[in-house]
């Protein structure tokens, strides 16, 4: 697990003589990218530079940056990994502060392939054997990155179809003078791209590209896309657009080709991944209990390969409990970890201890060191995006505590999307029917929203969705009505995630979540929180064959008798007693709304310092994103009123997640304003 970044610069021969290689891509740009990913890889770093001339005379400069978290083959896995056609060339890389090396100047007759890689190839040993049989000579002992190098040499893009992996990678092929960046099918590992005319780049973080954009072109705040920013405000995330015009997240299962200097999207999967998920949802063959058990077992076993301490994140839920049970059968000495949360209502440590006792694992309950206000600012600035999922905080605390004991953890991400575990899937069928009778939806005013997780709040949210934008509103932090009040000048219909708002089948909704919500929210949260603590998280549920099989499985099997996660529970009963399998689902959450009232962890102080400052959202108005501060102040008052004891159930309204989103937006925009001014001062004095 690592951090990767890079820059490519295209020189049109008709424009005259290109600058010297080191001036084309200043080392200071690489310093910016390196600084933004250093938390992801504390065990090593390296850089690579090259220049190539294409057949049409176009000259291409490239620079790659890598930070390493050493998990597999400590001695042989250093990156960037460079191959000249005959052997690996570590001498063509250099360390920050050293004299940069231009590969083509050292070996002009041997065009290289250079790779930076973030993730893990679970079937790297099998692929190595196949490549060796085809005549490829490996030099490392068991580096999975070298498998990618030789695979590219052997078959180019098609080698990616053979990977059972989570990954984000960039591959420079000097023969073609092209740079390719590619992301795994489920979107476990992040990959962002920047495209500015003849300059382009990629990175594991949006923050690094944002700073590079400011350094190279000083385009903030004019580079903010008001429609995409409104979408971030509405949902708290998106899968591909960022709030910036020139920065995007590579879609899961896709790649970007930089041959023209601007990222051009492409797919690498022989069986188009995105199309398969969309068109085959719930329309395939049944998946038996034994088949699912076998697939999940195989996936879990593949994720146990590492050269460092490994454990399992164990919560009170069925997903992590089942992963733990399967892991324990193959690694009886496996260590399991849970974190005691600061609020007992959201603490699953006792339930996790019961599961660990039942299975007999070496279990540790860790106490988290929670600093909500400081941690939130750090995480948002590190990510460089206004990410609105408040479970980022407890995820970070779990990762930070566990990283003191292990460097790799298995987790249960994906179980709800694959096996229909969310309440909204059950509600979706009813929603599509209620939308035909819009008068019913107007009854939402009869159900108060004074408590975020109350039944009346759920009903209110459901009925509001039925008269607005359906599934999009169920997924929103600011639904259509609230977004219209927050930003009256914005058209809510332009803030969407590509959802079909009138799904007739929960499997279609779940398929959309696999492509959108999973990579845009959950996996971004997991990666951000874990890599901030230099911890690698692996997710057995997201094996590519398992995802396809579960997605195609008919709803009558995945939800027998309407039971959410019914099929998965049938598998779990082979390993766990009923009282664990049937334990009520508890979301991984924090009482953020109460913290805004009580000032736990300085969260109320942080909220009011930001939202009542003279300029809570600097730069956004200049970009066309106008926030109605009267509505913001109204939400602050209503939220406080909802926490007061009253016999009136309509006393106030809980705005927990909406206020959190606005706090994150303010933290992000103030960070942008600060670093933008710093970049301008350095550039213009």
pLDDT higher than 90, residue 273:
no
Q: How far is CA 303 from CA 32, 253, 285, 298, 637, in A?
A: 33, 20, 27, 9, 49
Check if the beta carbon of residue 105 is closer than 8 Å to that of residue 50: no
pLDDT higher than 80, residue 191:
yes
Confidence band, pLDDT 50/70/90 cuts, at residue 430? confident
Backbone angles phi, psi at 224, to 5 degrees: -75, 130
Confidence band, pLDDT 50/70/90 cuts, at residue 127? very high
Q: Can you give the pLDDT at residue 8? A: 95
Check if the beta carbon of residue 214 is closer than 8 Å to that of residue 220: yes
pLDDT tens sequence across 587-603: 677 899 999 999 999 99
Check if the beta carbon of residue 128 is closer than 8 Å to that of residue 62: no
pLDDT higher than 90, residue 143:
yes
Q: Which domains are delineated in the chain? A: 2-219+248-268 (3.60.20.10), 282-419+508-581 (3.40.50.620), 591-685 (no CATH)
Q: Can you give the pLDDT at residue 425? A: 85
The mean predicted confidence, pLDDT, of the chain is 90
Cβ atoms < 10 Å from Cβ of 643:
17
Cβ atoms < 10 Å from Cβ of 201:
32
Check if the beta carbon of residue 70 is closer than 8 Å to that of residue 308: yes
Greater confidence, 468 or 485? 485
The H-assigned helical ranges of 25-140 are 27-37, 103-106, 124-133
**Tokens coding 259:** 């041959």
Q: What is the mean pLDDT of residues 347-368?
A: 90
Confidence band, pLDDT 50/70/90 cuts, at residue 554? very high
Q: How far apart are CA 186 and CA 183, in angstroms?
A: 8
Q: Bridge-partner residues for 337, per DSSP?
A: 313, 364
Residue from 458, 502, 2, 518 nearest 252 by CA: 518
Q: How far apart are CA 552 and CA 666, in angstroms?
A: 41
pLDDT tens sequence across 605-642: 999 999 999 999 998 988 889 999 999 999 999 999 98
Q: How far apart are CA 1 and CA 188, in angstroms?
A: 11
Cα end-to-end distance, the chain, whole Å: 39
pLDDT higher than 80, residue 494:
no
Q: Can you give the pLDDT at residue 499? A: 56
Q: Which pTM does this prediction carry?
A: 0.95
Q: By mean pLDDT, which of 34-43, 44-53, 273-282 is the weakest?
A: 273-282
Q: What is the mean pLDDT of residues 668-683?
A: 84
Q: Can you give the pLDDT at residue 434? A: 67
Residue from 493, 502, 415, 418 nearest 466 by CA: 502
Q: How far apart are CA 131 and CA 532, in angstroms?
A: 35
Greater confidence, 361 or 267? 361
Handedness of CA 161, 163, 168, 170 (dihedral sign): negative
Check if the beta carbon of residue 124 is closer than 8 Å to that of residue 144: yes
Q: How far apart are CA 247 and CA 258, in angstroms?
A: 14
């Amino acid at each position: 697990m690592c951090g990767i970044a890079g820059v490519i610069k295209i020189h049109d021969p008709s424009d005259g003589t290109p600058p010297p290689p080191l001036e084309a891509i200043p080392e200071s740009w690489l310093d910016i990218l390196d600084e933004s990913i250093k938390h992801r890889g504390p065990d090593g770093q390296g850089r690579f530079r090259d220049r190539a001339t294409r057949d049409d005379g176009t000259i291409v400069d490239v620079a790659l940056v890598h930070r390493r978290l050493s998990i597999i083959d400590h001695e042989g896995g250093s990156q960037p990994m460079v191959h000249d056609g005959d052997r690996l060339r570590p001498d063509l890389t250099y360390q920050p502060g050293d004299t940069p090396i231009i590969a083509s100047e050292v070996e002009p007759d041997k065009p290289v392939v250079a790779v930076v890689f973030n993730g893990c190839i679970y079937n790297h040993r099998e692929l190595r054997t196949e490549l060796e049989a085809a005549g490829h000579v490996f030099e490392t002992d068991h580096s999975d990155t070298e498998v990618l190098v030789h695979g590219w040499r052997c078959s180019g893009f098609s080698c990616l179809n053979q990977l059972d992996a989570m990954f984000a990678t960039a591959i420079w092929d000097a023969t073609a003078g092209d740079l390719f960046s590619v992301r795994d099918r489920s979107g476990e590992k992040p990959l962002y791209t920047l495209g500015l005319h003849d300059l382009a780049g990629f990175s594991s973080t949006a923050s690094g590209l944002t700073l590079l954009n400011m350094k190279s072109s000083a385009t903030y705040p004019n580079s903010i896309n008001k429609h995409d920013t409104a979408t971030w405000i509405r949902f708290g995330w998106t899968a591909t657009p960022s709030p910036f015009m020139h920065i995007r997240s590579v879609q899961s299962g896709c790649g970007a080709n930089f041959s023209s200097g601007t990222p051009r999207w492409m797919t690498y999967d022989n069986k188009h991944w995105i199309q398969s998920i969309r068109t085959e949802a719930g329309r395939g063959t049944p998946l038996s209990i034994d088949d699912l058990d076998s697939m999940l077992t195989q996936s879990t076993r593949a994720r146990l390969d590492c050269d460092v301490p490994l454990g399992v994140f164990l919560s009170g839920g069925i997903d992590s409990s089942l992963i733990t049970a399967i892991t324990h059968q193959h690694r009886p000495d496996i260590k399991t970890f849970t974190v005691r949360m600061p609020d007992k209502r959201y603490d699953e440590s006792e339930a996790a201890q019961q599961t660990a006792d039942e299975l007999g694992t070496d279990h540790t309950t860790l106490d988290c060191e929670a600093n909500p206000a400081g941690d939130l600012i750090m995480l948002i600035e590190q990510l460089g995006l206004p990410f609105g999922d408040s479970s980022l905080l407890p995820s970070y605390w779990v990762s930070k505590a566990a990283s003191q004991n292990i460097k790799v953890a298995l987790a249960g991400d994906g179980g709800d999307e694959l096996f229909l575990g969310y309440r909204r899937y059950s509600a979706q069928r009813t929603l599509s029917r209620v939308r035909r009778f819009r008068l019913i939806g107007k009854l939402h005013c009869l159900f108060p929203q004074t408590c975020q997780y109350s039944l009346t709040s759920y009903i209110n949210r459901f009925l509001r969705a039925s008269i607005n934008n359906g599934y999009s509103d169920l997924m929103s932090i600011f639904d259509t009505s609230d977004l219209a009040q927050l930003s009256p000048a914005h058209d809510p219909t332009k803030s969407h995630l590509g959802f079909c708002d009138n799904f007739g089948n929960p499997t279609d909704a779940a398929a959309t979540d696999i492509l959108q919500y999973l990579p845009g929210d959950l996996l971004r949260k997991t990666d951000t929180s874990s890599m901030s603590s230099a911890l690698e998280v692996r997710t057995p549920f997201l094996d590519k064959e398992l995802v396809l099989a579960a997605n195609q499985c008919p709803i009558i099997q995945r939800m027998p008798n309407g039971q959410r996660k019914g099929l998965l529970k049938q598998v779990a009963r082979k390993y766990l007693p009923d009282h664990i399998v049937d334990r009520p689902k508890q979301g991984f959450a924090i009482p953020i709304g109460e913290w805004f009232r009580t000032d736990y962890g300085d969260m109320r102080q942080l909220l009011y310092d930001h939202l009542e400052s003279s300029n809570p959202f600097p730069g956004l108005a200049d970009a066309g994103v106008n926030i109605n501060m009267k509505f913001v102040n109204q939400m602050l008052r209503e939220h406080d009123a909802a926490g007061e004891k009253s016999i009136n159930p309509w006393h106030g309204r809980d705005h927990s997640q909406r206020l959190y989103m606005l706090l994150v937006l303010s933290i992000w925009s103030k960070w942008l304003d600060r670093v933008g001014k710093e970049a301008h001062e350095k550039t213009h004095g």
